[in-house]
Amino acid sequence: MWDDQRHQDVNEPPEAVVIDGIAELTTNDEANGGRIRDAALVVEGDRIAWVGPSRAAPPADRRVDLAGRAVLPGWVDSHTHMVFAGDRTAEFEARMAGEPYAAGGINVTVQATRAASEADLEANIERLVAEARRGGTTTIETKTGYGLTLTDEVRAARLAGRYVDAVTFLGAHVVPAGADPDEYVALVAGPMLDAVAPFVAAVDVFCEVGAFDEAATRRILDVARARGMARRLHGNQLGHGPGAQLAVEYGALSVDHLGFLTDDDVAALASSWAGARRGTVATVLPACDLSTRMPLAPARRLLDAGAVVAIASNCNPGTSFTTSMAFSVATAVLQMGLTVQEAVRAATLGGAIALGMDEEGWLDPRGAAQPAVGVVGPGRRADFQVLDAPSVTHLAYRPGVPLTSAVWRSGIREV
Ligand code: NIG
């Protein structure tokens, strides 16, 4: 059988391609200290077969010379909301003129999304995924949450699964206009979750004043946990709340936003990783903090305390209309006090851990078992990006400059 994408017969052994001339290879792999200078790597099929110093590169069928550029893992964007229609430019303008962000704007997008055709929704997701890919993103999670009826949430989950690597159910985004809050939570935790479950990898709740309080969040998380579904939370975005602590208590994969954290919250997130335990990732969303003019999440404090931190774009039409992980990384460095290496790790391996994709065999929405992502190392999925620069330092040193010049995903050059 012929594979059109790889241009080869699948019965033949996969072609080995050596990518050489790498001035700096960021691997995120403890085995080589996370970084190799004057490096090469070998891609075979959809996986990395070898990494090491250029002088030791094995022979291969084909050689690509990067002439002194930097290579790093593709971005793993672990928090987006890409299934939507409509426009909220006016809301953004009002915010920049001094209006505060309020979760009520979500209902504006809900109306537009319900009214949109499947073709229009798909075209929007496809456009955003392509934009993210050009910026170096190779793994994308996206959420439902702009449908908020059983039919519209299932539609969102089903369509998203055609384009992204993981879909999260966010029926608990806000209580839709006109609905009774108690009845809506019962719908989300009951029939809606039943209907959407075959299409999603996790359940999320926006735990915030104006969205869902602690009692409602617990009702939904209790059901998700009882069904064995992964949990994640939006928490501590607009003010201090119980989100971070609940996420740890419920063994959530991640809690995202985190602009308002007490020392106890930071300690709880850090200690969730004590011993050999797999804890809750603290996901920060720098572009969202800027676009809503809210306090920046304390990424430095979280890392210093021992928490595992991820950086994501939070691409959505209300609070963060960008797919740019490079912008998020530069902001984390310039404004949140992370080193470039810490920020790059958080936006690659951190995101992979937040999605449970740092381990072999995670299932994509089509049910295909995938190699681990977030590390450029033997056996990992061959997802990496090439910068038109000699080092990842340039991501913050030259902020706003589109440095990604090539993107490989599953062993295929896509950009
Ligand atoms: O992650 N916080 C809740 N949800 C989105 C905002 C969505 C919107 O305003 O449309 C977020 O920021």
Helix, strand, or coil (residue 404)? strand
Tally of domains within the chain: 2
CA of residue 320 to ligand 1 center, whole Å? 8
Same domain, 23 and 154: no
Position 401 pLDDT exceeds 60:
yes
State the binding site for N-formimidoyl-L-glutamate: 146, 316, 318
Same domain, 102 and 143: yes
Q: Is residue 276 part of a domain?
A: yes
pLDDT, residue 48, reads 98
Same domain, 169 and 276: yes
The percentage of the chain sitting over the pLDDT mark of 90, rounded to a whole number, equals: 95
Position 1 pLDDT exceeds 80:
no
Average of per-residue pLDDT across 122-146: 98
Position 4 pLDDT exceeds 80:
no
Residue 153 parent element (H or E): helix 150-160
In DSSP terms, which residues pair with 26 in a beta bridge?
Answer: 35
Structure tokens at 125: 């997701």
pLDDT, residue 372, reads 98
Position 255 pLDDT exceeds 70:
yes
Grade residue 3 by pLDDT with cuts at 50, 70 and 90.
Answer: low
Same domain, 292 and 402: no
* DSSP β-ladder status, 404-409 and 412-413: antiparallel
Q: Could you tell me the residue range of the domain that residue 126 belongs to? A: 75-363
Q: Looking at ligand 1, which atom is closest to the CA of residue 320?
A: 12
Average of per-residue pLDDT across 139-164: 98
Same domain, 59 and 83: no
Q: Looking at ligand 1, which atom is closest to the CA of residue 257?
A: 1
What is the chain's mean pLDDT, rounded?
96
In DSSP terms, which residues pair with 311 in a beta bridge?
Answer: 284
Position 130 pLDDT exceeds 60:
yes
Query: Is 105 near ligand 1, meaning CB less than 6 Å away?
Result: yes
**Among 103, 189, 122, 114, residue whose Cα is nearest residue 149:** 114
By residue count, the chain amounts to 415
Q: Is residue 369 part of a domain?
A: no
Average of per-residue pLDDT across 57-75: 97
Cα 315 to Cα 144: distance, rounded to the nearest angstrom: 13
Q: Which of 142, 316, 320, 321 to mutate to test ligand 1, by most ligand atoms within 8 A of the CB atom? A: 316
Structure ipTM over 0.95, yes or no: yes
pLDDT, residue 277, reads 87
Average of per-residue pLDDT across 254-260: 98
Grade residue 276 by pLDDT with cuts at 50, 70 and 90.
Answer: confident
Listed residues 344, 363, 382: the one ending a domain: 363
Same domain, 241 and 353: yes
Cβ neighbours of residue 199 under 8 Å, at least 6 residues apart? 154, 157, 158, 160, 161, 167, 365
b/e string for 228-241 if b means 16 or more Cβ within 10 A? ebbbbbbbbbbeeb
Same domain, 18 and 46: yes
Position 245 pLDDT exceeds 70:
yes
Position 11 pLDDT exceeds 90:
no
Q: Are 172 and 212 in contact (CB under 8 A)?
A: yes
Query: Is 95 near ligand 1, meaning CB less than 6 Å away?
Result: no
Same domain, 216 and 267: yes
HSE (side-chain half, CA atoms, 13 Å) at 18 = 18
pLDDT, residue 103, reads 83
Grade residue 284 by pLDDT with cuts at 50, 70 and 90.
Answer: very high
Same domain, 27 and 145: no
The percentage of the chain sitting over the pLDDT mark of 70, rounded to a whole number, equals: 97
Read off the CATH number of the domain in which 190 is found: 3.20.20.140
Nearest CA to ligand 1 atom 8: 318
CA of residue 139 to ligand 1 center, whole Å? 20
pLDDT, residue 319, reads 98
pLDDT, residue 266, reads 98
HSE (side-chain half, CA atoms, 13 Å) at 12 = 11
Distance of CA 35 to the CA centre of its chain: 22
Q: Are 256 and 283 in contact (CB under 8 A)?
A: yes
Same domain, 138 and 67: no
Predicted TM-score (pTM) of this structure? 0.97
Position 2 pLDDT exceeds 70:
no
Q: Looking at ligand 1, which atom is closest to the CA of residue 101?
A: 9
Grade residue 116 by pLDDT with cuts at 50, 70 and 90.
Answer: very high
Same domain, 50 and 165: no
